[in-house]
Structure 1
Amino acid sequence: MSVKINISYPHLQQFTANQDVVEVNGSTVGECLNHLVSQFPG
């Protein structure tokens, strides 16, 4: 399932290539967060 994660704090957007919304795949919160970390390591 595709999930959109809103990065509402501008100081956190530096970790997502200045994107305020990131789309990830996963069927649980943990899977979605793991996908987010794999897209934007660091």
Structure 2
Amino acid sequence: MSYKDDSLMKKKFFVKLLNFNKYISFCMFFLENSSQLFW
């Protein structure tokens, strides 16, 4: 595996990680707000 491929893999991994974090924070935000609405 060349260095170029390695850096590409890392970029893809970071993008996945960022998307995952956004998803998690969105879920947490939604849960907090919905709990305020429902209780």
Instruction: Give the TM-score band, short-chain normalised.
Output: 0.3 to 0.5
Which one has the bigger strand percentage?
Answer: 1
> Higher relative contact order by CA 8 Å / sep ≥ 6: 1 or 2?
1
Which one has the bigger helix percentage?
Answer: 2
TM-score in terms of structure 1 length = 0.32
Larger CA Rg, structure 1 vs 2: 2
